[in-house]
Amino acid sequence: MSVSLRHWPWATTIVVASALALGTSENASSYCEYSRVAIEEGQVWRLWTSSFVHFSESHLVWNLIVCVALGSWVERRAPRELRAYLAIAPTVVSGVLYAWESYLETYRGLSGVAAGLVVVTVWVLLLDGKTKEAVALAVLLGTKVGIEFVSGEPLLADFGNTGVTPVATAHLVGAATAFVVCCASGLLARRRKRRIQTDVNPFDHGNREGI
């Protein structure tokens, strides 16, 4: 029981449950969405909560499908990395939007976080030796983020005439945050491996003294 609970993707569950709980309710959104004016007035929690509120059911559903599918799998394979990423990503995405998109008044949505989940998935697939699948995912995300960033127009995302503009920067920032988390994790793992090798080396001066 304890083993299964330990492997339970609780971070993904919290993210998904939060998004479902807040849903598309205008009442919840008025307290949780990214609002430049409100953040400037001191409501800094919006930097974290803005990712969990959405504009419409379809906006929520498609973001959640990606998060559930990738998050639940990745969290079992690389729990520390995913949890670290999920803890910081919403704030980093909103923070960068605050710094870069000075004319963005309000923002909602989980896609920035979802874009980063794809990066973590690619990293785990690469560690598993599934290069083809990792490359396919990376190309799909890279094409979307690259075209969006260069052209400044969102790719494969449209809100019609609702007055809502998909924000391409959020995807780029989410992906970049996940990349940094994966790189940091890789560096830590390498350092740990080196330390273990040094500890078990029988010719190591320190070990000989110990023996």
Partner 1 sequence: MRFSPSRLQTLILLLSAAGLVLALTSCSGPRFRRADRTSSIVEYLYPGVTNPLAPTALPVLHLPLRVGVAFVPSANGPHPYGSSTTISEMQRAQLLQRVAHAFEGKDYIAAIEIVPSTYLRPAGGFENLEQVRRMLNLDVVALVSYDQVQFTDQNRLSLAYWTIVGAYFLDGNKNDTQTLMEAAVYDIASHQLLFRAPGAGRIKASSTLLQVDERLRSDSGQALQLATDDMIANLRMQLEDFRERMKTAPDTVAKIERRPGYTGAGAVSRWFALCLVGIFAWSQRRPLRRAMS
Residues in contact with partner 1 by CB under 8 A are 36, 51, 54-55, 58-59, 62-63, 65-66, 69-70, 73, 93, 97, 101-115, 118, 121, 125, 130, 133-134, 136-137, 140-141, 144, 154-159, 163-167, 170-171, 174
**CA–CA separation, 204 and 211 (whole Å):** 11
3-state SS, residue 35: strand
Task: Look up residue 159 and give its amino acid.
Answer: F
**CA–CA separation, 154 and 138 (whole Å):** 18
Of the two residues 55 and 85, which places its CB atom closer to partner 1 in the complex? 55
**Residue 160 CB, nearest distance to partner 1 (Å)?**
12
Of the two residues 84 and 96, which places its CB atom closer to partner 1 in the complex? 96
Residues forming beta bridges with residue 34, ordered by sequence position: 107
122 in Cβ contact with 82 (< 8 Å): no
**CA–CA separation, 1 and 153 (whole Å):** 48
**CA–CA separation, 81 and 75 (whole Å):** 8
Of the two residues 25 and 58, which places its CB atom closer to partner 1 in the complex? 58
**Residue 43 CB, nearest distance to partner 1 (Å)?**
17
Phi-psi region of 8 (alpha: psi -120 to 50; beta: other; left: phi over 0): beta
**Residue 44 CB, nearest distance to partner 1 (Å)?**
19
**CA–CA separation, 128 and 108 (whole Å):** 34
**Residue 109 CB, nearest distance to partner 1 (Å)?**
3
Of the two residues 45 and 204, which places its CB atom closer to partner 1 in the complex? 45
Of the two residues 44 and 99, which places its CB atom closer to partner 1 in the complex? 99
64 in Cβ contact with 20 (< 8 Å): yes
Residue 121: C-alpha distances to residues 9, 74, 138 (Å): 14, 6, 9
**Residue 130 CB, nearest distance to partner 1 (Å)?**
5
**Residue 66 CB, nearest distance to partner 1 (Å)?**
5
Of the two residues 134 and 182, which places its CB atom closer to partner 1 in the complex? 134
